[in-house]
Structure 1
Amino acid sequence: MNILTKYFDTKHNTAPFSKIKTEHFAPAITEAIQMTRKDIDAITSNPEAPTFENTVEALEFSGQTLDRINSIFFNLNSAETSDEMQKIAQDISPLLTELSNDITLNSALFERIKSVYNQKDGLGLNTEQNMLLDKSYKSFSRNGALLAEEKKSRLREIDTELAKLMLTFGENVLAETNNYQLHITNEADLKGLPEGTVEAARSLAKSHEKEGWIFTLDHPSYLPFVTYADQRELRKEIAIAFGSKAFQGNAYDNQENVLKIANLRHERANLLGYETHAHFVLEERMAQTSGKVTSFLNDLLTKAKPAAEKEFSQLTAFAQKLDNIDQLQKWDGAYYAEKLKQELFNLDDEKLKPYFKLENVQNGAFTIANKLFGLTFTEVFDIDKYHEDVHTFEVTDANGGLVAVFYSDFFPRKGKRNGAWMTSFKPQYKKGNHNERPHVSIVCNFTKPTETKPSLLTFNEVTTLFHEFGHALHGMLANTTYPSLSGTSVYWDFVELPSQVMENWCYEPEALALFATHYQTGEIIPQEYVEKIKESASFLEGMATLRQLSFGLLDMAFHSKDPSGIQNVKTFEKTTMEDTALYPDVAENCMSVSFSHIFQGGYSSGYYSYKWAEVLDADAFAYFQEKGIFNKEVADKFKDNVLSQGGTDHPMTLYKRFRGQEPKPEALLKRAGLIAS
């Protein structure tokens, strides 16, 4: 029997990674698909009249073996992939899409769901049961259950093709990231680079059996290079390589994939009776309409653009004064911004990094979670992991009860995609008298320790860790009955609130004192540095806001109109981003073709969520500041009304229960320095 299809007889039922072989996945998924089909048949062939329990709940708990295997497989495909894994992903995706379609287009199943839905007012359901019933009904009605047969058949074709295209998109971006190296043999070309960055590049070259230093497009290598390297031509070379991923007319080019994905999404939305893909997506979001999203983004643009233009002029004048640069280019931005920050605040990441040893920052996040939510994190060594870099923790509450299993995976490697994310290997839910606890993971790409230095984080990486840890808390503190409403299973423009609100503690002296200690001397970060961190928090915030808005507007441009007229991805992108552009365009670069959030991940028509959630998080943290950043009463309200509730109620209802009012955008604008405090 395949290890993946039976109960994991392991500590806390954790995935037995060391015993799972790549060849187990395809047969296990095939077998689990058949098991899921049997679950569905049992519901549709039930001779009893449809009830909430025998239909809606039965559907909710169907296919659990398959869900568990999928979560393991697709998480590994992101964090520890191989050619073999990618081949399996391409092979199984059509099978999973077919199963999904067979369920949502199953007319007998839909009739049972509809029968329960039509009598919902008389069933005496609680809020969570009502939400599950609504969600179940909509998962059918919004995905083709009401269509005529020939349209159902076309929907199946579209879904199968989309699943494969999105996988290919991600594989191409990863391949292009892995295929590039900037190999430096002349030591003079390293001028300006921090010692730790140079040492890491040296180690990488050694591992490739090469002389000199190797820099890559992985963030811990790429970002320090474009921020610190004095050699402008080399900054230009690596920046163009970064911006031209999947835009080189080679086997990994994504231009055609972008257009196919956008057009298929549009056709799918039309088929289902929606004007555009954005109309379809936003029906199930807090924002509700594309008009509301666009006006939200444009309103922020109106407020941020004057500040951004002023900042850009200031940066240009600074580069002119320093190095006689007449026109700032994209490969100059991070470099001169860092230099200007040092001049204005006498603060740079190299001064701060010794105070942000990775282990200390992680322990700081744990301590803050303990002070706020009563959680204790204990590293354990008897839980299996999928790579030696991964660490495993038991998370317990004040009474010593298990809250979650937590995995952390912090360093780049060849089989791991760029960026940072939170995910889970097992959701939280209640069945019978048992509360199944979740297995949650955060995955980042920080600088690896070298022979002489531990992993030291930039301040930006500190906030990244806290951001993903905020998502993890949302997953770990989940306390709902149904897995599909648990943890981060919320509207996508609400999901960023727990993550973004956690970043705020990184700027507070009281919080920094808990973990920001010098890795060699143990000295707590000096107060003047803390003040400078706070002071510089809104440094070039107008430009940063404009950049985020440009991504949100590009996402909406692809998805809130008919994309069939787009002939050229680059031209379309350039036109769309005209209003937010500060730097001259780079002909060789195109952002859309590696915009994984919207063309591979789940953020299509949802990238605006980051700014939307910033409004929520600024307003929420203002409440903590009012009462004290470790105030137990506010923390309990946040835990009980937001973190533990998942998607059991409408997000605005949950937010108002916590805050006592709707969020006010002024808190964000003040924090960003875009309006006076």
Structure 2
Amino acid sequence: MASEKFANPPQRPPVFNYTPEELSAGIDKIIETKRGVADNVIASTTPETATFQNTVQPLLRTDDETVGENFRICFLQNVHPDAAVREASLKADGKMRELGIELRMRDDIFQRVQAIYDNKASANLDTESATILDKEYTQYVLSGLRLPHGPERDHFKKQQLELSRLCLEAQNNLNNETGGVWFTPEQLEGIPKTDIDVGDLEKGTGDNEGKVKADFKYTTSTPLLKYAKNETTRRDYYIAETNKVNQNAPIFQTIIELRDETARQAGFKDHADLTISAKMAKDSEKVKSFLADIRTRVGDGGKKEIAVLRELKKQDYAERGLDFDGEIYAWDVGYYSRILKAKEYSLDENEVAEYFPMWKTFTGMLGIFEKLLGLHFVELDEAAKARLSPTGNAKDIVWHDEVVVMSVWNDEASGGEFVGYLFLDLHPRANKYGHNANFSIGPGYVKADGTRNYPSTALVCNFSRPSQGRPALLKHNEAVTLFHELGHGIHDLVAKTQSSYCHGTAVMWDFVEAPSQMLENWCWTPDVLRGLSSHWKSGEKISTDLIDKLMKTKHLNEAMGTLGQIAIGTFDLTVHSPDSHEAVKKLNCGRLWNQLRGEITGVKGPEAVGYGMEWGQKHATIGHFVGGYDAGYYGYMYSKVFSTDMFYTAFKENPMDGEAGRRYRKLVLERGGSMDENVMLYEFLGREPNPENFYKDLGLA
């Protein structure tokens, strides 16, 4: 029972009870407001009289006042059960993207921003304001504002609008993908009932009579590729999943051509050069060298790991009396990695999962944040939701009945102040966002009257539902994922910036993953993991023996996994840095993806068994490429340098050191994107970051 102190947040939670018409009207009002303020700024200033206070500040203030509703309206396309609401949300998102391009390409605003930027040395700006000014000026330049007025700039704007539309269309295709493969129950032999209950799958009719449908959600794809004994089943599913949104392939081709055209038009060498110039890395050649260096370092390890799996497959085929062609294929990796865990480490993932019922594990994770960061979490029951709801109706502050709402506070020792709201939507549904992510649905900021607007953030995941009389259970890798995404949510909640512009995770794209990646280490710390555990039936803690076995698998096939990430990052950089515009037009992205995956990982795919090099369009399924990570996927690996350095420096010896945790909260999390991330890291580490601990963690130092 929450104490009275934590029962009455000073701010009500947001509502999600929009009709499609209200979504449309709401976004139109926001657009009208933002345009009006921009016009007022222009009417009341000139480039000569423009200051941060009379030009940038009013625009920021309007963003603050509208951003919460804006984010929530556009968020609903990912999670709402009503198709009409999702469609209205999608259209609203498109309108906001168009407005963003329109405002970003207003020369009258840019003239004033440039004048302020040119005189910033004498402007006496605080760190956050100076950081915002630098970022704003850079974004105007990247948006083509150095182009001459007239047809050239008009064409640039037209292409930007088309890019925005195409990216939204591609993401929507991913969200609404409902495909699958029809198999007989016999073809799914080997998959534990606790992972996929064949009896619960959609039953086929007509040509598919006697078959069941294996969809492409994580909760199906992961266990199928890990457990299905029949290699043909795994191969057919792997190929079908790779081609699940082939309508995105021509869209992606158009996107990379438009990105290349507009980057060159804006004066950059290519799109990678443009985007990376505004990130921590600054230089695309530096990024390519970084990926190439890691590839060289882990290459031999990858070959050794493949050899181990190949030997396991050889033994397996001999035991089953099957002919073995001497190869390990992409659809074999998950299957034989699981067998390797069982044989070499005596580790059964499902046995481990029995000690990690999802909700108990999640509340244990909250307990870690309470100890480390001085927080307190209160789950709102139906009565509390109704009492706090602006409408008096508990259902209006969630978008689905399954959503859990928590109020988040500083603990009593830290002052007991309110921090914000955490929303949890953790299981898969039809037409729901299919991956695991955190969404900001209301950034924090300081209001005009000096009081604080508190943030709201949503954890949207796709973990298996309760089944077979058991609660939802987390495999260890799923626990790592949950902790990672929760880390993004905590970053979003505890940030304390003046403006919503740089709140929470609004940091450089190649740093944004670092805080969450660092937290993954807690799930590889024996004492912490034991503390999180509670057998779903007996409540017993996981045994030391089982934890020891699990710890030994931390770096299992890590070289292969690292090479897989490098392959994706290399593809991303390759398509976004062609030698010429003619070169990008000639790209065959499906072929390129399949070539790079094979060359870099060393694992063969369908091309090796007669399907040809154009057998799949995996790149068309990667939402990152159309969702902000374009020429930025390298950031997952790049930010690991920072995350590993932070963990080894501050937490390796004592992961539950509350003093170190609060220092981390103050120097990193609370600052959001309000200052140069390099300076932030220097202040936290006490030195420049370096990759030594990153390579040490990979076993490569």
Tell me the TM-score range normalised by the shorter chain.
over 0.9
| C-alpha contact (below 8 Å) 1:467/1:500 kept by paired residues | yes
Q: Residue in 1 aligned with 2:454?
A: 437
Distance 1:423 1:246, change over 3 A: same
User: Is residue 301 of structure 2 the alignment partner of residue 269 of structure 1?
Assistant: no
- TM normalised by structure 1 equals 0.92
Give the stretch that moved more between structures: 155-164 or 206-215. Answer: 206-215
**Candidates 298, 302, 306, aligned match of 2:300:** 306
| C-alpha contact (below 8 Å) 1:193/1:225 kept by paired residues | yes
Equivalent residue of 1:197, what SS? coil
Q: Residue in 2 aligned with 1:596?
A: 623
**Candidates 5, 19, 22, aligned match of 2:20:** 22
| C-alpha contact (below 8 Å) 1:266/1:559 kept by paired residues | yes
Q: Residue in 1 aligned with 2:340?
A: 340
How far apart in 2 are the matches of 1:81 and 1:143? 36
| C-alpha contact (below 8 Å) 1:407/1:440 kept by paired residues | yes
How far apart in 2 are the matches of 1:84 and 1:210? 33
| C-alpha contact (below 8 Å) 1:147/1:272 kept by paired residues | yes
Q: Residue in 1 aligned with 2:488?
A: 471
| C-alpha contact (below 8 Å) 1:35/1:63 kept by paired residues | no
Q: Residue in 2 aligned with 1:100?
A: 100
Equivalent residue of 1:406, what SS? strand
Equivalent residue of 2:420, what SS? strand
Which amino acid letter does the alignment assign opposite residue 616 of structure 2? N
| C-alpha contact (below 8 Å) 1:624/1:630 kept by paired residues | no
User: Is residue 435 of structure 2 the alignment partner of residue 419 of structure 1?
Assistant: yes
How many angstroms does 1:268 deviate by?
A: 1.2
RMSD: 2.2
Which amino acid letter does the alignment assign opposite residue 155 of structure 2? R
**Candidates 389, 394, 399, aligned match of 1:386:** 399
Q: Residue in 2 aligned with 1:582?
A: 602
Q: Residue in 1 aligned with 2:169?
A: 168
How far apart in 1 are the matches of 2:470 and 2:237? 25
How far apart in 1 are the matches of 2:650 and 2:516? 15
How many angstroms does 1:94 deviate by?
A: 5.2
Q: Residue in 2 aligned with 1:564?
A: 584
Which amino acid letter does the alignment assign opposite residue 196 of structure 1? T
How many angstroms does 1:96 deviate by?
A: 2.8
- TM normalised by structure 2 equals 0.89
Equivalent residue of 1:178, what SS? coil
How far apart in 1 are the matches of 2:445 and 2:624? 28
Gaps of 5+ in 2: 1-8, 319-323, 390-396
How far apart in 2 are the matches of 1:83 and 1:277? 35
Q: Residue in 1 aligned with 2:665?
A: 639
**Candidates 394, 408, 420, aligned match of 2:424:** 408
| C-alpha contact (below 8 Å) 2:98/2:164 kept by paired residues | no
How many angstroms does 1:25 deviate by?
A: 1.4
Distance 1:595 1:47, change over 3 A: closer
Q: Residue in 1 aligned with 2:4?
A: none
| C-alpha contact (below 8 Å) 2:105/2:145 kept by paired residues | yes
How many angstroms does 1:33 deviate by?
A: 0.8
Q: Residue in 2 aligned with 1:180?
A: 180
* Identity of matched residues, %: 27
How far apart in 2 are the matches of 1:207 and 1:321? 35
Q: Residue in 2 aligned with 1:504?
A: 521
**Candidates 30, 33, 50, aligned match of 1:32:** 30
Equivalent residue of 1:514, what SS? helix
Distance 1:234 1:576, change over 3 A: closer
Give the stretch that moved more between structures: 206-215 or 378-387. Answer: 206-215
Gaps of 5+ in 1: 1-9, 248-252
Q: Residue in 2 aligned with 1:205?
A: 202
Which amino acid letter does the alignment assign opposite residue 429 of structure 2? R
**1:535-546 equivalent positions in 2, closer than 5 A:** 535-546=552-563
| C-alpha contact (below 8 Å) 2:188/2:233 kept by paired residues | no
User: Is residue 451 of structure 2 the alignment partner of residue 452 of structure 1?
Assistant: no
Equivalent residue of 1:222, what SS? helix
Equivalent residue of 1:513, what SS? helix
How far apart in 2 are the matches of 1:207 and 1:455? 27
Q: Residue in 2 aligned with 1:246?
A: 245
Q: Residue in 1 aligned with 2:3?
A: none
Give the stretch that moved more between structures: 352-361 or 506-515. Answer: 506-515
How many angstroms does 1:618 deviate by?
A: 1.4
Give the stretch that moved more between structures: 643-652 or 661-670. Answer: 661-670
Distance 1:41 1:574, change over 3 A: same
Q: Residue in 2 aligned with 1:250?
A: none
Equivalent residue of 2:285, what SS? helix
**1:321-340 equivalent positions in 2, closer than 5 A:** 321-324=315-318, 325=324, 326-340=326-340
Give the stretch that moved more between structures: 664-673 or 642-651. Answer: 664-673
Deviations 1:11-51 (A, max 9, x none): 8343222x311232122212221111111112111158322
How far apart in 1 are the matches of 2:56 and 2:410? 32
Give the stretch that moved more between structures: 166-175 or 374-383. Answer: 166-175
Which amino acid letter does the alignment assign opposite residue 135 of structure 2? K
Q: Residue in 2 aligned with 1:132?
A: 132
Which amino acid letter does the alignment assign opposite residue 645 of structure 1? R
Give the stretch that moved more between structures: 320-329 or 95-104. Answer: 95-104
Q: Residue in 2 aligned with 1:123?
A: 123
How far apart in 2 are the matches of 1:93 and 1:520? 45
Q: Residue in 2 aligned with 1:288?
A: 282
Equivalent residue of 1:297, what SS? helix
| C-alpha contact (below 8 Å) 1:182/1:215 kept by paired residues | yes
User: Is residue 230 of structure 2 the alignment partner of residue 231 of structure 1?
Assistant: yes
Which amino acid letter does the alignment assign opposite residue 395 of structure 1? V
How many angstroms does 1:463 deviate by?
A: 0.4
User: Is residue 254 of structure 2 the alignment partner of residue 260 of structure 1?
Assistant: yes
How far apart in 2 are the matches of 1:159 and 1:287? 24
Which amino acid letter does the alignment assign opposite residue 142 of structure 2? R
